[in-house]
A and B are shown apart, each in its own frame.
Chain A
Amino acid sequence: DAMVIQNPRYQVTQFGKPVTLSCSQTLNHNVMYWYQQKSSQAPKLLFHYYDKDFNNEADTPDNFQSRRPNTSFCFLDIRSPGLGDAAMYLCATSRGDRGNEKLFFGSGTQLSVL
């Protein structure tokens, strides 16, 4: 059974048109992460939530926002997608125990920007 679910698997949007990617989890984990992964590059952490506490990475563009309305769901909003935002977006969760940070990943959403 899928534990971290990302929808949709593929998302196509237009240049400048807002888009939202969703992630849900059945693990009841405290922490939810959003990573951006471009082709042949390492996954790059955009931000994470520890419960309701939002933690933004210093180099994450303002164009990227996130919401976590409850424990199970987390959303990635891209306000004005540019061509450079085309990438795989990975959601991950963890219990939040320092020293035991196994991450569980979703299958990702592949975003294309036309």
Chain B
Amino acid sequence: AQSVSQHNHHVILSEAASLELGCNYSYGGTVNLFWYVQYPGQHLQLLLKYFSGDPLVKGIKGFEAEFIKSKFSFNLRKPSVQWSDTAEYFCAVDDYKLSFGAGTTVTVRA
């Protein structure tokens, strides 16, 4: 079965700092990769996804992620965070079903 590891449980940043969240998965075959975000009190929503092609994927709100097949990684980045980026971030991998990582709580201090 697919397993998804997110490296950090809780990240605390100041506004304008850069953010990188790590994600590794276990399956070596063809997979679809996602980052979902859950803002406080809201539902999970898609931030970005990778299916094929350019391994650098642009998402909403200035987020991007890079797929590195040799490292089984799909790390999420944002060059300059805002207070409104405070949320829970989930990496997910889809081979025959969607498997989520445990999530990373990101707190951005004003």
**Chain A residues within 8 Å of B, Cβ to Cβ:** 4, 33, 40-45, 48, 57, 90, 92, 99-103, 105-108
Contact = CB atoms under 8 A, between A and B. Distances in A.
Nearest to A4: B43
B98 A42 contact: no
Interface stretch (B45-53, B61-69, B79-87): B45-53
B45 to A, nearest CB: 7
Most buried by B among A44, A92, A105: A105
Given A101-B94, A102-B49, 10 more contacts: A4-B43, A33-B98, A40-B102, A90-B44, A101-B32, A101-B98, A103-B36, A103-B98, A105-B43, A105-B44
B27 to A, nearest CB: 15
A23 to B, nearest CB: 12
A4 B46 CA distance: 14
B43 A41 contact: no
B4 A99 contact: no
B100 A43 contact: yes
A90 B100 CA distance: 13
B9 A106 contact: no
B107 to A, nearest CB: 14
Most buried by B among A33, A45, A103: A103
